[in-house]
């Protein structure tokens, strides 16, 4: 009897470990959910295989979801709900391309490591903009196929060269503002000096006996500071996400 109990307990423990593993490394059951029926059977099968291969090879969930309507929700809200309804995200990382036919809405939602390092805002926005003409022309398979290729290409790029980073516009904007302010200042000063006449000698500008040099020192008007960016580590799971939404 004790032996049977021991075997039963061992089976329960094994089941618990397996269940825990599934929870840690969740993944959607399918990669293509064509509820709007805008793909042919052969297109859906080909796309399912392509997205599954990406997920199996690189460890990121890549999903396409179409629907007739998203009801009263915004596209991004509906897409966030899908993440949990589909149990999407391998180790919390994935991307979902949502297309709703009622009002021709789309949303691309990246989350976890996919959002933090791969399909960051600028990369995802560029991809979404590139795919809109496919959707507008009714080439839905073309849009989803291109989506798969772009996501795969970015994953490979990040593996080889490191995480994508958002472009910094602070430095060029600062330089541009400084130049504009400098030009305006010079023009104002120049305009105020139009009524004056330049003298050949500087002595003519100094009142007799009013200037006496008692001390001298060097003053540096400009300095150069060099800063080196420090790298930061980011986790491979969890975290928020980003959306690229619009209409086609």
- Per-residue pLDDT tens digits for 95-132: 999 999 999 999 999 999 999 999 999 999 999 999 99
Q: What is the sign, positive or negative, of the torsion defined by CA atoms of 81, 87, 89, 95? A: negative
Which of the four pLDDT bands, split at 50, 70 and 90, describes residue 26? confident
- Per-residue pLDDT tens digits for 28-62: 999 999 999 999 999 999 999 999 999 999 999 99
| Whole-angstrom distance, CA of residue 31 vs CA of residue 208 | 89
- Per-residue pLDDT tens digits for 163-205: 999 986 433 444 444 555 555 554 545 555 555 555 555 566 5
Query: Which residues lie closer than 8 Å to 16 by C-beta, 6 or more apart?
Result: none
Q: Choose the most confident range, by mean pLDDT, from 4-8, 107-111, 223-227, 237-241.
A: 107-111
pLDDT on residue 191: 56
The beta-strand segments (E) located in the chain are 32-34, 61-67, 94-100, 105-111, 241-247
DSSP state of 70: -
Q: Indicate the burial class of 59 (C-beta count within 10 angstroms; 0-12, 13-18, 19 or more).
A: middle
What are the chain's domains?
23-165 (3.10.310.50)
Q: Indicate the burial class of 218 (C-beta count within 10 angstroms; 0-12, 13-18, 19 or more).
A: exposed
| Whole-angstrom distance, CA of residue 95 vs CA of residue 228 | 33
Cβ–Cβ contacts within 10 Å for residue 204, how many? 7
């Amino acid at each position: 009897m004790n032996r049977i109990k021991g075997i039963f307990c061992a089976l329960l423990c094994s089941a618990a470990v397996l269940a825990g593993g599934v929870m840690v490394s969740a993944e959607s059951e399918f990669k293509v959910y064509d509820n709007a029926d805008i793909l042919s059977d052969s297109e859906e099968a080909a796309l399912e295989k392509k997205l599954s291969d990406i997920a199996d090879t690189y460890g990121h969930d890549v999903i396409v979801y179409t629907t007739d309507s998203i009801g009263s929700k915004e596209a991004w809200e509906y897409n966030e709900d899908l993440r949990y309804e589909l149990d999407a995200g391998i180790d919390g990382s994935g991307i979902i391309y949502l297309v709703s036919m009622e009002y021709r809405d789309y949303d691309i939602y990246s989350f976890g490591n996919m959002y933090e390092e791969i399909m960051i805002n600028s990369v995802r926005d560029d991809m979404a903009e590139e795919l809109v003409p496919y959707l507008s022309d009714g080439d839905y398979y073309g849009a989803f196929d291109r989506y798969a290729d772009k996501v795969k290409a970015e994953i490979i790029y990040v593996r080889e060269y490191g995480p994508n980073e958002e472009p910094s516009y602070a430095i060029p904007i600062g330089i541009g503002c400084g130049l504009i302010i400098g030009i305006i200042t010079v023009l104002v000063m120049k305009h105020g000096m139009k009524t004056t006449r330049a003298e050949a000698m500087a002595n003519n500008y100094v009142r007799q006996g009013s200037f006496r040099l008692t001390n001298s020192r060097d003053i540096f008007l400009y300095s150069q500071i060099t800063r080196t960016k420090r790298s930061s580590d980011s986790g491979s799971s969890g975290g928020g996400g980003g959306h690229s939404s619009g209409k086609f």
